[in-house]
Structure 1
């Protein structure tokens, strides 16, 4: 999901001597250390969306409790993309100065503190600031996890990446489904949000021994940043098409994550059932996301996948605009298919670069520009919703964004490489 970081460290988690290897190779990790690292990665992953989807499920209660306007609510749902663009870009700088374990512990502590503090305030600005603190922790962890997988599990990278992606989806789904029942059980929306701070605190524990241990940085080619590469995606049509496709699919994803539960509540569903419907989008998307990379690598062109995903999204949007209550299960199934544009664009980044340097550069450029585009989605949906009092015009905006996404997707569909442009 994020470009490989600009520095690599060797840091066994279990108490064991560090085995020095030639430049470019990873030190051997003891079995016990590997298990601890794996548990740590999975615990971090399950926290990477819970703070976002829990807020989406309880947005109406938060708006009422804090007297948030539609614009302020839109800003709250836009914060994830802003944080991912800004704080994710700072992560390579952090890991050049501190060990990955220390940065990861700091990110999980930020996530824990942000989620715990935001439920203690009645001030909307303080709520947004503490939410931003939590999201900063997520942004840093987003960048660190792929690096840790490559460092500790170089021969099982696909398996471990699949495992932590699954845990990310589980965390997102459970938070969306359980936040409202937790809030009802304790009689406050604050409890429904605070519960996930406890989960984040557990993610700190496996990394503490390594974070407290003195480490040594390995210098070499792996320590170069993506900007050191001669590949400049920003000067190519393919690079911009990839960034626009990444950005527009993320725009719709975060708008859906932030506002879909509210749409279903306005359509007559209870808060709990609206949260379950939101959770259904991510849950149904899991098997599709697992199949998508295989399909993409076997096709000569990505055009059929791009068009199919766009068509299902259009059908879902039209259904939500016309019959959001009666056809809810069908619409969330179609949304789940359409949202698998995310794993598609991740695969496309690798398919459209010849070299490792090209892949890193293309990934960095697509995500940095893409998250800026994505930040507009939840904010504009909130503004339009407040101005019109309904969902048809906000959905119309998402359809226009989907049209841009489709054209960008067709531009990256045919085989070519960023190094050649």
Structure 2
């Protein structure tokens, strides 16, 4: 009895973590291939689509700030259980009220909950698998990427299947179906709701109480710029890439396939980015290289999507490698846990706030200017700003040194 009680939480926690990770991006990428249907059925404008597209990054920023406070009153399993319940409820709301208001309210609910999951799932790994953090972290990141790539691939087939029973409104079946996955994840956390409060949760709930002022340092500002403007371009492309292919003559299913490929390559970037930062003393040239690829690929999709569709999408998908490079630089540019925590919180919090503008600007420009060239001109300018941030983030120093807490050159 005692032996099984020790083993059970571990395999139950593993299952819960995996099912939760599947939900972490499906609500975002599962929407993009359905935009032509939404614009036709609900009469949504480009600006309204842009507003819906900025919700993920806005909610991720809000939840990054509120998650430590949430852990003051809830254990990690209870917080993740509630997050999955809200994720399911938000996705049901999006299709239960088929209007812009319903889509907006449902997206706020679901994506705030997913943002909480972003912050808490790494803590769940540390709480349940303290001796196997790297392996389990890689596991849930791979599963998250599978959900991110699989959702757009299934979006149009599910919508076509649902057309027969909903008078041509199959997009409601397609979007609503992802709530089932969130419900399964919520159910998986139920056996763990009685788990005692962990030291990990106690430490996380104190985050931000005495945060180092990294916003006063070139490294901190550089990383926030990298995170923010990389995400600005990434979330805009994630939202509008299928529409760009459809406008270029592709079928909705092929456009969804292109988004799936674009998202799926992010799995390779999760390995490449950290390796480059560890391999080269100055990874700044690699940052510039990936930004150039991002710009070339985006313009290829905008100007001639069907002339070399696979080439453009692969080149564009390599561009966001600057994001995992930034995540790795958080640890490289800090010598203490306090420094790394402050860099991560400030960099990602400010970064997601900046990123809100990407989908919105894309939507407004596409609505008022024909074609996709001008939105990608804006992206090119934004990615130039990433290069500036990357330069300061890759200097051979640390935030502690720049704040005067550790003398230069001291280990």
**TM bucket, shorter chain:** over 0.9
Whole-angstrom CA distance in 2 between matches of 1:335 and 1:126: 32
Contact kept in structure 2, 1:70 and 1:385, CA below 8 Å: yes
For 1:26, the equivalent position in structure 2 comes to none
Contact kept in structure 1, 2:68 and 2:207, CA below 8 Å: no
For 1:209, the equivalent position in structure 2 comes to 191
Whole-angstrom CA distance in 2 between matches of 1:220 and 1:251: 31
Contact kept in structure 2, 1:47 and 1:171, CA below 8 Å: yes
* Pair 1:44–1:98, CA change in 2 (3 A): same
Contact kept in structure 2, 1:306 and 1:409, CA below 8 Å: yes
For 2:180, the equivalent position in structure 1 comes to 198
Contact kept in structure 2, 1:75 and 1:379, CA below 8 Å: yes
What is the Cα deviation at residue 224 of structure 1?
5.9
C-alpha RMSD of the superposition: 1.7
Whole-angstrom CA distance in 2 between matches of 1:177 and 1:190: 16
Counterpart pick for 1:239 among 216, 220, 237: 220
The secondary structure found in structure 2 opposite 1:215 is: coil
What is the Cα deviation at residue 288 of structure 1?
3.1
Whole-angstrom CA distance in 2 between matches of 1:64 and 1:221: 49
Counterpart pick for 2:393 among 412, 416, 419: 412
What is the Cα deviation at residue 214 of structure 1?
6.6
Contact kept in structure 1, 2:13 and 2:192, CA below 8 Å: no
Counterpart pick for 2:138 among 132, 151, 162: 162
* Pair 1:273–1:214, CA change in 2 (3 A): closer
For 1:11, the equivalent position in structure 2 comes to none
What is the Cα deviation at residue 318 of structure 1?
2.6
What is the Cα deviation at residue 202 of structure 1?
0.7
* Pair 1:154–1:294, CA change in 2 (3 A): farther
Whole-angstrom CA distance in 1 between matches of 2:64 and 2:202: 21
For 1:120, the equivalent position in structure 2 comes to 96
For 2:310, the equivalent position in structure 1 comes to 329
Whole-angstrom CA distance in 1 between matches of 2:290 and 2:206: 34
The secondary structure found in structure 2 opposite 1:228 is: coil
Which portions of structure 1, spanning 4 or more consecutive aligned residues, are displaced by more than 6 angstroms?
none
Per-residue Cα deviation, 1:235-270 (whole angstroms, up to 9, x for no partner): 112111110110011111100111101111100001
For 1:314, the equivalent position in structure 2 comes to 295
What is the Cα deviation at residue 144 of structure 1?
0.4
Structure 2 unmatched runs, 5+: 164-169, 403-411
Aligned residues: 394
Confirm whether residue 377 of structure 1 aligns to residue 358 of structure 2.
yes
What is the Cα deviation at residue 394 of structure 1?
0.5
For 2:31, the equivalent position in structure 1 comes to 55
Contact kept in structure 1, 2:228 and 2:355, CA below 8 Å: yes
